[in-house]
Structure formats: C-alpha cells, structure tokens
C-alpha cells in the first residue's frame, strides 16, 4: 500500500474516532445524571462501555508504518482543527509535550538522524520552520529514512510494540 492510501485509511479511522468520541461525550452526562438520580442506567452504561472499547480499539489500530505516513496524517487530520499542523513549527510544537507519543516519534526520528551524523529536522538548513509541512513530506531526507532497513526496523519495533498482548506503541522508547 502506498503512503497516500495509508494516510487516507488513517484519516477515515480518525473520523470514526472523532464520531465515537462525540457519542461518548453525549452519553456520559446521561449516565451520570441517571446514577445521581438512582435511575436504571445499565443499558446506557453498557453502551458507553462498548463505545469506550471501540475508541480504544481504533486508537490501537492507528499505526504509522513510517514517518512520512505519520507526518502526512498529522498534516491532513489536523488542518481543520483548532491547532492545525501545517508547518514544521506546528509539528515541533505538537511534538513538544513530555511523554506524548508524537513527542517520542519525533525524538526518535531526530535522535536517529543525529546518531548517524545528519542534522536533526529542526536543525536541517533545507527546512524552514514556517514553510508548509509538505516540503518535509516530499524531502529526500524522509524518503531516505523510509528506505533505510535499519531505521525502519527500529521505527516499527516502537510503532508496533506490544506489552503482554496489549498495544503499547512507543512505550519501549526512552529517548
């Protein structure tokens, strides 16, 4: 499957994720109110549990086979959100939250580059932080990484990590 097809598949999953999250946010207050009023809420609670499990399943299944797919997804999925990711600067800000999975992906990418004598993405003179993120997506630097078997093996070890059968993406990365 090519990168754009994979990005499109992830965007559809993101829409399903947002729709499910919206249903949860509408159902939670109903369940809470019935609990407070000591009314029967078993059916709604069961529906809420099903929706929460579905949300977790979608999240677990949203994996990024390579950094081009990951960044392309971020660019497309968030362009109409309150904090779009349209430039390298936007991506850097998005990936600056400690412990956040995107921070781990971005740190891994930059650590790998630095460890192999290459400039990190923010330090690379080919990238201006205010330019459209599509320049980074089309860059030879990212293309070379996705064609590098060593890099891709390590990326996928983190992206597809399971802990006792539980999806644990990037929990094994400590950089």
Q: Which residue has the tokens 């990024």?
A: 64
Summarised one tens digit per residue, pLDDT across range 16-28 is: 999 999 999 999 9
At residue 3, the 3 state secondary structure works out as helix
> 10 Å Cβ neighbour count for 80?
7
**HSE-up (13 A, CA, CB side) for residue 81:** 15
- The Cα 105–Cα 82 span in angstroms is 22
Cβ atoms 157, 172 nearer than 8 A: yes
Does an H or E element contain 67, and which? helix 67-77
Q: Give the predicted TM-score (pTM) of the model.
A: 0.91
Summarised one tens digit per residue, pLDDT across range 32-82 is: 999 999 999 999 999 999 999 999 999 999 999 999 999 999 999 999 999
């Amino acid at each position: 499957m090519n990168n754009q097809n994979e990005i499109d598949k992830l965007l559809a999953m993101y829409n399903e994720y947002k729709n499910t999250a919206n249903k949860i946010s509408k159902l939670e207050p109903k369940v809470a109110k019935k609990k407070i009023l000591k009314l029967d809420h078993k059916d709604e609670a069961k529906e809420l549990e099903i929706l929460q499990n579905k949300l977790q399943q979608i999240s677990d299944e949203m994996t990024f086979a390579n950094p081009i797919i990951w960044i392309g997804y971020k660019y497309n999925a968030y362009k109409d959100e309150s904090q779009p990711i349209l430039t390298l600067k936007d991506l850097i800000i998005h990936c600056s939250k400690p412990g956040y999975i995107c921070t781990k992906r971005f740190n891994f990418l930059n650590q790998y580059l630095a460890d192999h004598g290459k400039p990190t993405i923010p330090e690379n003179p080919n990238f201006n932080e205010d330019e459209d993120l599509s320049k980074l997506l089309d860059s030879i630097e990212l293309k070379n990484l996705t064609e590098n078997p060593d890099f891709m093996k390590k990326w996928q070890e983190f992206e597809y990590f399971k802990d006792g059968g539980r999806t644990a993406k990037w929990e094994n990365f400590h950089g």
